[in-house]
């Protein structure tokens, strides 16, 4: 069982102090939060992808590569990589590069996002959102698993003899989660490929998330990847912790009341009762998180949102201290004792390499540097010294 935190990268006014940090402050602050997540013993740090204010994470691979250089053990991931508006070739290249720089300690979660205007910003039609997600992942999967790809799809120009570079580390693609809160076709896609399914279990009752997770488990078994209990499931969550329950409620209330998504809505206590939001003492957070296992069965990854709605960095770091010292150790112990013997761990780069190669050395691809123009498969310069010279700036 992995535990981690994720950020949506919002730059939001602190309703208590009235201060709004700059983008530079939030970017630097989030890198410190990621490093501290490793220091307190968490397994995963993830950041989302957004292309509009008040969010800053338009380039998650750049940010995560920087965090990889600052850390040694924590796994790096995304809390959404937009499979619809990003070109699959760029996703294949950028995340393979991140995989190399992070020495394999990364994976990613693909999703369609929740910002409708992003589609025309990147030249896409939101009415094609679902077919885009399906077609683009089909291509991405092939780009990572085939050295040379011919492709003629519905939403981009064809590829002929194309090799994305760099090739995945050890010739093993990064592990992929498919994230959705309402779309059975995405759960079906995750099951078809034997990938993970992530439900951002934050804003709706657990019963809502359960329907899609159960569907994913059934289809995972249908496609022959294992039993329902062996499907790879992740849950989002949201928490605020203090030593005493009332202090947690008092401290978090102004942030809850002004939160961009659910602020000015239901009372915090009502929202806590109706959704997975956990606010309280360490024991209360433990109890509520353990209840997720009762609802969903054994699962592989639990992620918490703890830095949104204007919470100052100092308070977020204090949350991490409590999460790492008083909550996660108990959850690890309790959930390990309940875990079925057939339930797999979250795939890592190391065990994916082992599954593919056994005790043999993994293949290290060396793409042919002279493959040419990727259309004819030949070099436009090979028969002409003059053209060869011109191409390299020689007179």
Taking only the tens of pLDDT, the chain with its 395 residues reads 999 999 999 999 999 999 999 999 999 999 999 999 999 999 999 999 999 899 999 999 999 999 999 999 999 999 999 999 899 999 999 999 999 999 999 999 999 877 778 888 888 888 888 999 999 999 999 999 999 999 999 899 999 999 999 999 999 999 999 999 889 999 999 999 999 999 988 888 899 999 999 999 999 999 999 999 999 999 999 999 999 999 999 999 999 999 988 888 899 999 999 999 999 999 999 999 999 999 999 999 999 999 999 999 999 999 999 999 999 999 999 999 999 999 999 999 999 999 999 999 999 988 775 554 545 444 444 444 443 443 334 43
The confidence score (pLDDT) of residue 371 equals 52
Which domain covers residue 329, as residue numbers? Answer: 2-365
Shared domain for 272 and 344, answered yes or no, is yes
pTM: 0.92
**Are residues 393 and 339 part of one domain?**
no
Residues 345 and 392 in one domain: no
Cα 340 to Cα 1, 167, 213, 224, distances in angstroms: 12, 36, 18, 20
Beta-bridged to residue 303, according to DSSP, are 4
Q: What are the angstrom distances between the C-alpha of 43 and each of 1, 130, 276?
A: 9, 31, 21
Residue 285 has what pLDDT?
A: 98
**Confidence at residue 138, expressed as pLDDT on a 0 to 100 scale:** 97
Pair 76, 68: CB distance under 8 Å: yes
Confidence (pLDDT) at 125: 87
- Whether 361 and 375 share a structural domain: no
Return d(Cα 393, Cα 395) in angstroms, integer.
7
Answer positive or negative: Cα dihedral of 243, 249, 250, 255.
Answer: positive
CB 213 within 8 Å of CB 190: no
Quote the CA–CA distance of 69 and 98 in Å, as a whole number.
11
- Pair (257, 383) in one structural domain: no
- What is the model's pLDDT at position 393? 46
Q: Say yes or no: 322 and 392 in one domain.
A: no
Per-residue confidence (pLDDT) for residue 116, from 0 to 100: 79
Does 160 share its domain with 307? Answer: yes
CATH number of domain containing 334: 3.20.20.30
Residues 29 and 160 in one domain: yes
Same domain, 294 and 253: yes
Tell me how many domains the chain contains. 2
Mark whether 245 and 393 lie in a shared domain.
Answer: no
Tell me, yes or no, whether 170 and 240 share the same domain. yes
Same domain for 327 and 384, yes or no, is no
User: b or e along 38-60 (b: 16 or more beta carbons within 10 Å of the residue's beta carbon)?
Assistant: bebbbbbbbbbbbbeeebbbeeb
């Amino acid at each position: 069982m992995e535990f981690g935190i994720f950020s949506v990268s919002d730059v939001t006014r602190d309703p208590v102090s009235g201060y709004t940090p700059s983008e530079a402050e939030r970017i630097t602050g989030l890198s410190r939060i990621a490093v501290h997540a490793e220091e307190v013993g968490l397994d995963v740090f993830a950041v989302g992808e957004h292309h509009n204010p008040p969010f800053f994470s338009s380039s998650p691979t750049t940010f995560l590569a920087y965090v990889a250089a600052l850390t040694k053990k924590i796994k790096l991931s995304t809390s959404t990589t937009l499979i619809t508006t990003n070109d699959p070739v760029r996703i294949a290249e950028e995340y393979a590069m991140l995989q190399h720089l992070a020495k394999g300690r990364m994976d990613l979660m693909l999703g369609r996002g929740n910002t409708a205007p992003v589609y025309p910003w990147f030249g896409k039609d939101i009415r094609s959102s679902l077919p885009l997600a399906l077609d683009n992942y089909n291509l991405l999967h092939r780009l990572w698993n085939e050295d040379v790809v011919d492709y003629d799809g519905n939403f981009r120009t064809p590829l002929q003899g194309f090799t994305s570079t760099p090739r995945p580390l050890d010739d093993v693609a990064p592990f992929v989660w498919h994230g959705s809160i309402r779309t059975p076709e995405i759960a079906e896609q995750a099951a078809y490929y034997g990938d993970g399914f992530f439900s951002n279990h934050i804003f709706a009752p657990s019963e809502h998330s359960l329907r899609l997770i159960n569907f994913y488990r059934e289809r995972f078994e249908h496609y022959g990847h294992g039993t329902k209990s062996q499907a790879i499931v992740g849950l989002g969550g949201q928490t605020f912790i203090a030593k005493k329950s009332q202090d947690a409620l008092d401290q978090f209330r102004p942030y809850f009341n002004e939160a961009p998504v659910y602020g000015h809505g239901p009372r915090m206590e009502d929202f806590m009762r109706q959704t997975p939001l956990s606010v309280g003492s360490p024991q209360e957070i433990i109890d509520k998180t353990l209840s997720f296992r009762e609802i969903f069965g054994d699962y592989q990854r639990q992620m918490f949102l703890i830095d949104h709605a204007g919470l100052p960095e100092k308070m977020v770091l204090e949350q991490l201290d409590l999460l790492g010292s008083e909550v996660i150790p108990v959850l690890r112990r309790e959930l390990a004792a309940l875990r079925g013997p057939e339930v797999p761990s979250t795939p890592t780069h190391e065990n994916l390499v082992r599954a593919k190669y056994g005790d043999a050395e993994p293949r290290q691809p060396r793409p042919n540097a002279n493959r040419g123009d990727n259309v004819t498969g030949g070099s436009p310069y090979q028969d002409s010294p003059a053209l060869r010279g011109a191409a390299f700036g020689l007179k």
